[in-house]
Structure 1
Amino acid sequence: MWALRRVTNPLKDRRINIGVFYAASARLQISSNYIEEKAVISEYVQTSDKHPSLLRFYHSSNFPVGRCGLSSQAGAENSGEENDLEDGFSELETPANAETKENYIAQDETEDGLVSDRELAGEEEDVQETASNELELLEGESDPSDKRSSTRSTTSELFKAIVSAPGLSVHKALDKWLEEGKDLSRAEISVAMLNLRKRRMYGRALQLSEWLEAKKQLDFVERDYASRLDLISKLRGLQKAEYYIQTVPNSFRGEVIYRTLLANCVVANNLKKAEEVFNKMKDLELPITSFACNQLLLLYKRLDKKKITDVLLLMEKENVKPSLFTYRILIDVKGLSNDISGMDQIVETMKAEGIEPDIPIQSILAKHYVSGGLVEKALEVLKEMEGDNIKENRGACQFLLSVYAELGKADEVERIWNVCESNPRFEEYLAAIQAWGKLSKIEEAEAVFDRMLKALRKLPAKCYAILLKVYSNHKMLQKGKDLVRRMEDNGVQIGPLTWDALVKLYVEAGEVEKADSILLKASQQNQVKPLFSSFMVVMEQYSKRGDIHNSEKLFHRMRQAGYVGRFRQFQSLVQAYINAKAPAYGFRERMKADNIFPNKALAAQLARVDAFRKTAVSDLLD
């Protein structure tokens, strides 16, 4: 098995060594791996007296893990499963709580050339807790909970001035603000910045930050530099963000700076860069926090679940106490691997720590119980989520709508929606559309959407994309086309989530070439690239046909878009050769160049397209 290289002096040298070595027992069965794994744990981990060994509970059931090293071999032993929102936002960019409809929809989110529908709108939304509290603290607030309540009740005149200015004239508006002698305190700046972030108006937020520094209107501290770094990452990419770090004074290049860069690496699903940044933090002897560890956990959950062990090992070694979000990720990973008993054990570990499952965690548990056929357990959790009075427990409604729809209980969905209907919240509208769609009640889903459009006037593209996905799932091509035209008429900018739903709509209708054409046009728009799943749904159709030419073409276009070294890409491409009954030359070398190594299933696929494969018949003919 792969093992973490032993640290020579663990009390002094806190750096993660991502070098790994190969032991002779690489092909032992899972039971043997588990025995060796316990030996590794006992050698490297000194369990804290403060909390139970989460790592021990995490592996007390049948979750197979055979490697413990932070090496950059993303997907080396993946199941081939990829998240549908492969390039979507991490929890860093999701609102902490469902905002009121006025706050959420007040401004057009596409104003700065950003596409608002790059938000979560799929299966992973349940597990993705916000880390925006961490970044919102960059603006100088001391307590996230206090800040959230204050920003809801406080309107910022500075924010209004920035929003009312034309897109590229923010600096002029700020100059005028200064000339008029209006308030430019840190408190005013903080509220304005937070409101810009909440509305995804990152371009304006960056202009504000640049102006403040250029005009010397604010004494920058580490959190101010980190805020700028985060905005640069979002708008200009990781490379520009790294260049910016070099301009930050050495005294301010601390843990906040690097954890912000790390979080944006996770947003970009850049495994190699995330590991480099994390190890850089270790080199600099910066504190290892649960926030940084959670970022790696989230990334490994998407790309290489077996590496989760390495992070838990490190957390125990460094005595980093798991947070609520840590447990949320691990519970979801266990559920996704159909390890219900392991999932329940992690919940018990969490409770032993004095941490009770919150509503999102309960929702995750219920969904996995449903998928595991444990309907009674799911209903028990749902009852607990509702509490004694659902009207006083409105925060659970959006989750209840989703899980009851998974159970096929239309009457329960209607009951919960009736609770919300008098004054629906933004997320409740979306959950209701999705729930009715899952229940194949298209008219009800359309009615909720129309009501939402009437109540909130101008909707972000995300809302249209959710209804479009409903049409896609039911192969309602004409309704999908009409909805896209409606988006255009309403001045809604189409972005990746809309493209994704539209591509899948045409694929479901059997018009693969049209879907490919839409994807090509979307790729040529340089602002934001299409989602990973958009490429894959088309590529997999070509693969099923044995269309090697178009499969290779999609593979190349994905690389051009930045999707490099994904396990699922190679699986689909190899399958195209198999279905075409054609040999594939140099395939292992192509994979090796991307640092991808075949698992058992992919190795079997490769054997079938090996041009030099020897068989009994070929031996006779030779």
Structure 2
Amino acid sequence: MWALRRASISLRLRGFSAGTSRACWVKLTTSKVEDKPGIIESPQISCKGSLSFKTFHSAGQTSFNSIVREISSQADSKSKKEDDDMEYELETPVGEVHDNGGEDVELISEQDSSYENEGVEDLNTGQKLPDAEVDSTEKESQQKGIRSELFKAIIRIPGLSVNSVLTKWVEEGKELSRSEISLAIHNLRVFRMYRKALQLSDWVEAKQTIDLTEKDYASRLDLIAKVHGVYKAETYVERIPKSFRGELVYQTLLANCVNENNLKKSEEVFSKMKDLKLPVSVFACNQMLLLYKRTDKRKIANVLSLMEEENIKPSLFSHKILIDLKGKYKDIAGMEQIVEKLKAEGVEPDIQIQLALAKQYASAGLKEKVEAVLKEIEGGSLEENRSACQYLFTIYADLGKADEVERIWAVCKSDPQTHECLAAIEAWGKLKKIEEAEAIFEMMIKKWKRLTSRQYAVLLRAYTINNMLTKGKDLINRMANSGHRLGPVTWDALVRLYVQAGEVEKADSLLQKAIRQTQMRPIYDTYIAILEQYAERGDVHNAEKIFYRMRQVGYTSRLSGFRFLIQAYINAKRPAYGMRERLKADNLSPYKAFMVQLAEVDAFRRTSVSNSLE
């Protein structure tokens, strides 16, 4: 029934065994944390052996059963070309920034409310991140985008530390209530100022200003993971009182591990949750689906099997992942079947599912179907459905439809929101219409006076796509002259500019200089861009150097890094001693095409000549 369940290399997610936890690089002594509300309870997990499953009887899930069976068989019969795609995927929606802790400390224009329109959410899952515990009045303030006075004081003077602001705040006798602290942390999260939010959280915990709840601890854990990485977050768990180390804390850590595509750590956390007899929720399963979608699609059926036998009802996000998978397998009929059965159960597909459909239709060359979905997203009138514009920019740009991008911009340009401007700049960049992208950027400068470096980075990416190194360097100088600090997103774009210009050594040097000067944690893909170029050259020495630096900052247990490293050895025509042991140490299960690649650099592989000499 479940083809992948029989695969010899499967993880047996039905009960990530205790052996899996013991084999991990860093043994969990307590647990991990990750925030995500809205957890659905399910039967308890047995502490020994595999998960204690209940018989699956839910009639409402019959359609889901047939879908996951098909996905199992499809994943089990992948071609070599498709196996090659079982790797890390770069999925960066418009406006998303990578949570790497390196942020820009800068004044924020009062008119720039784009982030507040987005809300504080994990852009991989669309689920809200936990701030401190708040009452209904405070929630209403957050939803309306109200900024706390404490938040304004923190960002008013960019160079002033949060501790200094708080000390002065208390000395002046101003109120420092739970609601004020909660709203300030929420505001800082909205603007991705995670380091300052963590400093505020540090102060609150040290001063014991308020009584902390599990949600407060989970929120703090999330900030630690975003600023310092999941390994630092893991050590913080031991400091959390045992009574507050609950499901929310562990799911917070799980989601951060998945966000970093850290296969081993994610599986460790999932195993730890089982050992602690925490319920298996749809959120935790979605996180593992997302992880395996990016790293090893063969393991997806194990998660689906778990959901089936534990009677865990899939969410819309679960279905979005399945639609993406069906699309990658070119199973358009199966993809449409998922949507139809959702509708039959009275569930209307949300915009994320519609976008997934449009993306896969476009990939399959089904332009009429793409346009039909886009019309649904657009609705009767774009003027009345402005929230759809930022998504439509992206899809129409991917389709090469400059006239449609222009039509949508005509709706927005009289009173544009920041996120619409950024989406339009990105779209024009993809369409190689740099003048149009630059015109919107200049309009933003006039309208909002001072932009953040992340907003500069969108135009910088457009220059990167079009291999415009000179323009890119000019924009970086303009940022520096405006007093901006360059964060991970900006450095990523600059590195790619040099890489595409064939100056990989310069890109490497710039990145190392940036790390030394800013103490930032670069984006994973920044390293990969450099590693890939060294691999193409067969430069084993520099490839190993970059690979080592990636591990130093916590980017471990990822097949994509190993894949490029091995390619360097292949291109250099050199054997790679101990590579299998290195993979085993990271608890990685290579897919078929990867094993073929690995065999090419095996120093002890048997050949027809060596056999004949025996």
In 1, are the aligned partners of 2:255 and 2:287 still within 8 Å (CA)? yes
TM-score (norm 2): 0.81
Q: Distance in 2 between matches of 1:233 and 1:245?
A: 11
Q: Deviations over 1:481-538 (max 9, x none)?
A: 1111112112222222222222221222222222222233234456332222222222
Query: Counterpart in 1 of 2:531?
Result: 539
1:128 aligns with 2:112: no
Question: Letter of the aligned partner of 2:222 in structure 1?
Answer: D
Deviation at residue 594 of structure 1 after TM alignment: 2.8
1:62-109 Cα shifts (integer Å, max 9, x gaps): 763459xxxxxxxxx774532236997489xxxxxxx99523479xxx
Q: Aligned partners of 2:159 and 2:479: how far apart in 1?
A: 22
Structure 1 residues 174 and 465: CA distance shift in structure 2, 3 A:
closer
Is 1:409 the equivalent of 2:395? no
* Partners of 1:78 and 1:567 within 8 A in 2: no
- Give, in angstroms, the shift of residue 390 of structure 1: 0.9
Q: Which residue of 2 aligns with 1:112?
A: none
1:59 to 57, 69, 78: 69
CA distance in 1: counterparts of 2:594 and 2:255, whole angstroms: 31
Q: Tell me how far 1:167 sits from its aligned partner.
A: 5.7
**Residue of 463, 481, 489 corresponding to 2:473:** 481
- Going from structure 1 to structure 2, the CA distance change for 1:604 and 1:496 (only over 3 Å counts) comes to same
Q: Distance in 1 between matches of 2:551 and 2:208?
A: 42
- What is the root-mean-square deviation in Å for CA atoms of aligned residues? 3.7
Which segment is superposed worse, 287-296 or 448-457?
287-296
Once the two structures are TM-superposed, the CA of residue 177 in structure 1 deviates from its matched residue by 4.0
Q: Does 1:14 align with 2:6?
A: no
Alignment equivalent of 2:113, drawn from 91, 95, 103: 103
Conserved? CA contact 1:347–1:357, under 8 Å: yes
- Contact between 2:377 and 2:388, CA under 8 Å: does it hold in 1? yes
Q: 1:140 aligns with which of 124, 129, 134?
A: 134
Q: CA deviation at 1:181?
A: 4.9
CA distance in 2 between partners of 1:18 and 1:396 (Å): 48
2:14–2:306 CA contact under 8 A, matched in 1: no
1:615 shift after superposition: 4.1
Amino acid of the structure 2 residue aligned with 1:221: T
Counterpart amino acid of residue 298 in structure 1: L
| Per-residue Cα deviation, 1:332-365 (whole angstroms, up to 9, x for no partner) | 2333443323322222233233221222321221
Tell me, in whole angstroms, the C-alpha distance in 2 between the residues paired with 1:384 and 1:141. 37
Distance 2:164 2:85 in 1: 53
Amino acid at match of 1:84: L
Which position in structure 2 is the counterpart of 1:519?
511
CA contact (8 A) 2:74 2:329 kept: no
Partner of residue 227, structure 1: 219
Post-superposition offset of 1:441: 0.8
Aligned residues: 564
When the two structures are superposed, what TM-score results if normalisation uses the length of structure 1? 0.80
Report Cα offsets for 1:275-321 as digits up to 9, x if no partner. Answer: 22223323333333322222222222222222222222222333332
Q: Distance in 1 between matches of 2:342 and 2:535?
A: 44
What code does the residue aligned with 2:89 have? N
Unmatched tracts of structure 2, length 5 or more: 1-6, 18-41, 78-82, 101-108
- Which residue of 2 is the match for residue 312 of structure 1? 304
1:590 is displaced (CA, Å) by 3.1
Is 1:502 matched up with 2:483? Answer: no
> Residues of 2 paired with 1:572 and 1:240: CA distance?
27
Quick check: 1:391–1:419 contact (8 Å CA) kept in 2?
A: yes
Preserved contact between residue 257 and residue 266 of structure 2 (Cα < 8 Å): yes
Contact (CA 8 Å) 2:469, 2:497: kept in 1 or not?
yes
Quote the Cα distance in structure 2 between the aligned partners of 1:139 and 1:232.
18
Give the equivalent residue in structure 2 for 1:23: none
SS at match of 1:459: coil
Distance 2:178 2:543 in 1: 54
Percent identity (aligned):
53
The answer on whether the counterparts of 2:114 and 2:419 sit within 8 Å (CA) in structure 1 is no
* Partner AA of 2:538 in structure 1: G
Look up the match of 1:82: 88
Find the residue that maps to 1:392 and give its secondary structure: coil
CA distance in 2, matches of 1:311, 1:615: 39
| Secondary structure class of the residue paired with 1:160 | helix
Cα deviation digits, residues 178-225 of structure 1 (max 9, x gap): 455544443333322211221223333334334444444423222222
Match of 1:36 in 2: none
Q: Is the 8 A contact 2:84 2:593 kept in 1?
A: no
Matches within 5 A, 1:416-495: 416-495=408-487
Matched with 2:59 is 49
Confirm or deny that 1:530 pairs with 2:522.
yes
Please say if residues 81 and 568 of structure 1, whose CA atoms lie closer than 8 Å, have aligned partners that are also in contact.
yes
CA contact (8 A) 1:386 1:396 kept: yes
CA change 1:185–1:582 in 2 (3 A) is closer
Deviations 1:531-565 (A, max 9, x none): 22222222222222233333233333333333223
Check 1:587–1:239 CA distance in 2 against 1; reply closer, same or farther (3 A cut). Answer: closer
Q: Which secondary structure state, in structure 2, belongs to the residue aligned with residue 319 of structure 1?
A: coil
Q: Does 1:566 align with 2:558?
A: yes
Matches within 5 A, 1:190-201: 190-201=182-193
* 1:6 to 1:340, Cα distance in 2 relative to 1, 3 A: closer
One-letter code aligned to 2:240: V
Distance 1:618 1:187, change over 3 A: closer
Query: Partner amino acid for 1:235?
Result: V
Is residue 246 from structure 1 mapped to residue 238 from structure 2 by the alignment? yes
